[in-house]
Amino acid sequence: MGFETDFKKWKAEYFGQYCMTKCDKMCCDMRNVSLYVNYGELRKIFGENIDPENYKKMGIKTHNARWVYSIESKCFCGKFDGNTHKCLIYDSRPLSCREYPFLVEKDALVIKSGCSLARGGPEYKKLLEIASLHGKVIVKRR
Ligand code: SF4
Ligand code: SF4
């Protein structure tokens, strides 16, 4: 099996659970991160009848050439459940949410610095094993 397959499996078996229930940080707080989405994903977060007139006050910026939108809201993502600290559309969340906080490079797996995962723990140790098996080092980067 290649790295991508093992990494995907690790995310399903270890990371989702860790990120949503064990980590004390809340990266779905849009005051801290920018989320990049396509139009379908934008509608998934804000609803079918989203009005471009309201983009500015909702913190949505358009990047028309690529049909990419960035969301830099002043609050939590609308799909973040403040009570359970879970994503309400976890299984169909936008691609950038699925990829966060990782970036796969040829010889490395980059983890956004500040992610609690890299503090250690069984989930991180398992990831180290997978990365090492495929000849990748784990790097923390902003
Ligand atoms: S869609 Fe879900 S995972 Fe993505 S920022 Fe919103 S709450 Fe978080
Ligand atoms: S710090 Fe890492 S593990 Fe914690 S919520 Fe953010 S992405 Fe998930």
Number of domains into which the chain is organized = 2
d(CA 138, CA 75) in angstroms, rounded, equals 31
Residue closest via CA to ligand 1's atom 5 equals 28
Rounded Cα distance between 91 and 47, Å, is 17
The model carries a pTM of: 0.86
Say what the pLDDT of residue 64 is.
63
> Ligand 1 centroid vs 90 CA: distance in angstroms?
7
Same domain, 40 and 76: yes
2-38 pLDDT tens trace: 999 999 999 999 999 899 888 988 888 887 777 889 9
- The tokens 């359970």 sit on which residue? 84
Q: Is residue 32 domain-shared with residue 85, that is, in the same domain?
A: yes
Domain of 139? 1-22+101-142
Task: Work out the end-to-end distance of the chain between its first and last CA atoms, rounded to an integer number of angstroms.
Answer: 29
Specify whether 51 is located in the same domain as 88: yes
pLDDT digits (tens, 9 = 90+) for 67-89: 789 888 777 888 998 888 889 99
Ligand 2 centre from 93 Cα, in Å? 15
- pLDDT value at residue 99: 93
Q: How far is the CA of 38 from the centre of ligand 2 (A)?
A: 22
Non-local CB neighbours of 56 within 8 Å, separated by 6+ positions: none
41 and 85 housed in the same domain? yes
Residue 65 has pLDDT above 70, yes or no: no
